[in-house]
Amino acid sequence: MSPSLLLLLCAAVFVFCVRILRWTVPFALVLTALVGGVVGTAGFPFRHLVEGAFGYLNLILALFAGAWFGQAARHAGLTEGFAHGLLRVCHGRPVAVLAVVGALLFAAGMSCGVAGVAVLTIGAFAAPALARIGLQAHEAAAFIAVEATCGMIAPPVNVPAMMIADGVNMPFLNFDRALLVLSLPVALFAVAWFAVRARRPEAVMQPGAVAPWRIVHGLSPLALVLGFWLVLRLFPQHVYDPGVPIVLVLGGLVALPALGRVGARGSAHDTFAGVPLYLAAVLVGVGMLVQIMTLTGMRGWVVMQAMASEAPWLQLLVVSLPLIGGVLTSAGTSNVLGVPFAFAFIDQDMIINVAALSSIAAIAEFMPPTAVGAALSGYVVGEANLWKILRASVWPVALLFALSMMLLVFARPLARFLTGT
């Protein structure tokens, strides 16, 4: 079967499983990969299915480690201590609270390069503070997801951009200006946008009284994790990087003395159940599907079709990145579609191309059915309605998409300012 027909078959199988059989996305992805592998190879590609299942193992480990970090801090009461301390320092002013929380989320995203990890770590501390300045749960979740995604896009670590750069065989260098132009304006806009929506009666914003030691204890996990990441990025040649999962697990151990047996059991249950487990299963399915697409030639066919397209149709096809990213996640979209689109714009500055495409792929954090960033934000604030979170984040995400498209369309005149070429 030709790669184009096989791609249509896989799409039909996925839609049938999700819409008709009402299966969950992970099961639908696994069956789609299985059908594509069997039909595309006329055999059973067991080895490739297993390899693909472990393709995003590092992200899965970081996901569970981030969930452990946040849940251990929450069950130990450290997040409440942090919220009280932040409100006291900011005198309950919504703009100040949002600015500090946004800066922490942005910094975490910059350091680890994965929006979901930033959401699980800083988002757990941010949720009580955002609730106290009057943001509703879905608004708080939207703010957390937007800031974490902007941090993921920002330098020095942008995992989608790194994947695309690796696929086109270019070094990940000189991306700082382009990525900051894409991420920083959206992060600042989100602070202003949600500050307007946080105006509530003054009684809601009272910080209340809490013991000073609890405030200090609440700051200690964040100080440990963010401090280490800061030192690592400043002195990468002299500091050993044990990996994001180990750093987060060690940070979560700070909360152990205050957990107790009941708290430890509750944090472990919340870490390895519910949304984190579901999204880990999604990443397993995505890895299997990407591996099968590469094996059967579907991915190569997509590359050729993208490279054969011309303007203005090429720019219109870019819209498919976040839409397909709703199934493949931002990492899978960068891997499968980001590379061919970067080649398609090869007559422009490649640094701007990769930066803009990684930013568009990152919008998949808000695209159902996976919507990893938005779903994890709802998990940390206790908001189960994903659609309410997505509606609250529409305008910041629209600004991010507009900036990304502007960089792609005007890449040539902007190259001298953003890359010096």
Instruction: Give me the pLDDT at residue 201, please.
Output: 44
Segments in 16-170 forming alpha helices (H): 25-41, 46-53, 57-75, 78-90, 94-112, 115-132, 137-153, 159-167
Contact in structure between 288 and 30 (CB atoms under 8 Å)? yes
Q: How would you class 382 by CB atoms within 10 Å of its CB: exposed for 0-12, middle for 13-18, buried for 19 or more?
A: exposed
pTM of the model: 0.89
Query: What would the two tokens of residue 236 be?
Result: 């990468």
Phi, psi of 26 (to 5 degrees): -60, -45
Instruction: Give me the pLDDT at residue 202, please.
Output: 47
Taking the C-alpha atoms of residue 14 and residue 316, their distance in angstroms, rounded to an integer, is: 24
Question: Which helix (H) or strand (E) segment is 371 a member of?
Answer: none
Q: What is the SS3 assignment for 205?
A: helix
Instruction: Give me the pLDDT at residue 200, please.
Output: 57
Under the phi-then-psi rule, with left for phi > 0, alpha for psi from -120 to 50, and beta for the rest, what region is 174? left
Segments in 198-297 forming alpha helices (H): 212-234, 244-253, 256-271, 275-296
Instruction: Give me the pLDDT at residue 203, please.
Output: 42
Taking the C-alpha atoms of residue 243 and residue 230, their distance in angstroms, rounded to an integer, is: 14
Averaged in consecutive runs of 10 residues, what is the pLDDT profile of the chain (421 residues)?
Answer: 89 92 91 93 90 90 90 84 85 90 93 88 90 90 95 91 89 90 95 84 49 66 86 85 88 79 80 86 91 88 76 74 83 84 85 92 90 91 89 95 91 82 61
